[in-house]
Every structure is written in structure tokens, then in C-alpha cells.
Amino acid sequence: MVAAGCSEAADPSGQVSVSRDGGSVVLTSSAQGRADVSTQFVPKGTPAVRFSSFESSAQGVSDMYMYGLGPAGAASVETVPAGTAKTQVDDTFLAVIPNQAHAPLQSIHWRFLASDGTILAEGDGPNN
């Protein structure tokens, strides 16, 4: 999925988003009933892939969030296990991988694709 022209990429529930703040990439969770929680990092290159989870036992949520800065020209990002992902024009991305909050990070494979399907970058777990 591509979200062209957006300033933020968001998960389908609208509770988690990724954005840029100067040189930083910021992940924000705004789940109902609690204050916003955010984490940020300064990428040292691309791709810059990070992971986080914001569990909610009340809502039974245990999703893994993969986020960061993709390579220039990335039209989409794919994950194994499968997730829902969005890329945007400023090269940030957010992937929501359902029910994987406790998965070993190295077990999550990712790859960035150009619009023609060419693989631009791929790897396992966090990068950068």
C-alpha cells in the first residue's frame, strides 16, 4: 500500500503513526484511554528499520510495529510474517504485524520494493 502525499503513515486503527521531526523518525501511539507514547531515533543511513510494540491487555492488542526510513524510491514494504504497511513521500514507513508483539525481532523479514517490483533492500530484524 502506498500513501502518497501524506505527512504521516498510520496503522489501520489510527492509533499508531510515524512521522519526521527534523532529522528524527518518530513513532507515536495514541490508544484510547491513555496518554500518547512516543519513541524516536536519528537514522544513520537507509534503510533504517526499528521495531516497537504498544500492548493493551484491555483491548487484547499484541501487534508489532516496524517503522523507520526506507530507501529512496520505495513504493512498498513487505514483511514476513505478513503485515499491513504504508510508505510515504518522505520515505518513512510503518508496518503493523498482527499478534507478533513477543516475536524475536530477527525472525521478522522485511523488504522494500520499487513500483516495478524491484527489491531495493531487504533484511531481518532491526537495521541501523
With respect to residue 4, please indicate whether it lies within any of the assigned structural domains.
no
For 93-125, the pLDDT digits (tens) are: 988 888 887 888 999 999 999 999 999 999 999
With respect to residue 3, please indicate whether it lies within any of the assigned structural domains.
no
Q: Which of 2-11, 28-37, 84-93 has the lowest mean pLDDT?
A: 2-11
With respect to residue 48, please indicate whether it lies within any of the assigned structural domains.
yes
Q: Which three cell numbers stand for residue 13?
A: 486503527
With respect to residue 96, please indicate whether it lies within any of the assigned structural domains.
yes
With respect to residue 57, please indicate whether it lies within any of the assigned structural domains.
yes
pLDDT band at 9 (very low <50, low <70, confident <90, very high): low
Q: What is the pLDDT of residue 49?
A: 95
Q: What percent of the chain has pLDDT over 90?
A: 36
Domain that holds residue 25: 9-124
With respect to residue 76, please indicate whether it lies within any of the assigned structural domains.
yes
The average pLDDT across 11-26 equals 80
Threshold 0.85, pTM exceeds? no
Number of domains in the chain: 1
The CA distance from 31 to 112, in Å, is 28
Q: What residues does 109 pair with on adjacent strands?
A: 80, 124
For 38-66, the pLDDT digits (tens) are: 888 899 999 999 998 866 555 565 788 89
* Listed residue (43, 1, 36) closest to 21, CA to CA: 43
